[in-house]
């Protein structure tokens, strides 16, 4: 199976812009989906497809992709954005019927 690689931790000053990246061969075939997870809570989908936000997700969250790298950008980070963020896509190494998650990035808002 293929892998998705994320930086373990990233920090951002309140109100500034931060980019969280995800690398993997599967991202050459599929857009990444991004999930936010706060302590003790279930993951929440924040970005899917080329750059789509589910209802209720603030427009400060955006996604982009280039080659084997996907990025989640938070423009004007807020204190409530402090969380773990995971990328995910179908696994293109086999039958494309399985999924793979990145290891997660812990975002700290200073």
Give the span between the Cα atoms of 11 and 83, in whole angstroms: 11
Q: Could you tell me the smallest distance in angstroms from the CB atom of residue 21 to another protein?
A: 16
Tokens for 20, please give them: 């969280």
Considering only residues 48 to 107 of the shown chain, the ones binding another protein according to CB under 8 A are: 48-50, 54, 84, 86, 88-90, 95, 97-104
Interface pattern 12-51 for another protein (x via CB under 8 A): -----------------xxx-x-x-x----xxxx--xxx-
Q: How many CA atoms lie within 13 A of 66 on its CB side?
A: 3
Tokens for 67, please give them: 């080659």
Tokens for 58, please give them: 């603030």
Interaction site with another protein (CB under 8 A): 1, 29-31, 33, 35, 37, 42-45, 48-50, 54, 84, 86, 88-90, 95, 97-104
């Amino acid at each position: 199976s293929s892998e998705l690689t994320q930086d373990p931790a990233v920090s951002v000053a309140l109100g500034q812009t931060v980019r969280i990246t995800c690398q993997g061969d599967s991202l050459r075939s599929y857009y990444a989906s991004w999930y936010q997870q706060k302590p003790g809570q279930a993951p929440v989908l924040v970005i899917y497809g080329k750059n789509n936000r589910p209802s209720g997700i603030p427009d400060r969250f955006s996604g982009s992709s280039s080659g084997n790298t996907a990025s989640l950008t938070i423009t004007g980070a807020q204190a409530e954005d402090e969380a773990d963020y995971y990328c995910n896509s179908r696994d293109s190494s086999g039958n494309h019927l399985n999924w793979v998650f990145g290891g997660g990035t812990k975002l700290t808002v200073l």
